[in-house]
Amino acid sequence: MVIGDKALTLAWKDHFSHVIDLGQAWFDMTGLPFVFAARGNEKLGLPKDLIGQYYKLLCCDMDDARVQGMQLFFDSLFSQGLLPHKVTIRFFDRP
């Protein structure tokens, strides 16, 4: 698996017989976007308003479809026995 800038910029099809775009494969299977990275800060002890300001600057377009896609991904990992417990995605600024 190749991630990061090199995954986007190098001509991998010239080096490997099989190249899969995980984001496209997930979308084709589910109709939902794939979230490649998300980070929670609840255990850092920072004030929630400071964390909220940080995420407003950093996180872009974490809309309902992306949240649904992440939840489906975690549910799938749990149902396959790859996670020991169900994961519930929670946001401090959403109900």
Tokens of 18: 């099989």
Q: How many other C-beta atoms lie within 10 A of the C-beta of residue 68?
A: 15
pLDDT digits (tens, 9 = 90+) for 61-70: 678 888 888 8
What type of residue is 14? D
How far out from the chain centre does Cα 33 lie? 9
Per-residue model confidence (pLDDT) at position 33: 82
Whether the full predicted model's pTM is greater than 0.85, yes or no, is no
Each of the 95 residues of the chain gets a pLDDT tens digit; together they read: 666 556 666 777 787 787 778 888 888 989 988 777 666 555 566 677 776 766 665 556 678 888 888 899 889 989 999 989 998 887 766 55
Q: Do 33 and 27 contact (CB within 8 A), yes or no?
A: yes
Q: Do 35 and 87 contact (CB within 8 A), yes or no?
A: no
Per-residue model confidence (pLDDT) at position 84: 92
Q: Do 74 and 87 contact (CB within 8 A), yes or no?
A: yes
Q: How far is Cα 10 from Cα 83, in angstroms, rounded to an integer?
A: 32
Q: How far is Cα 26 from Cα 74, in angstroms, rounded to an integer?
A: 13
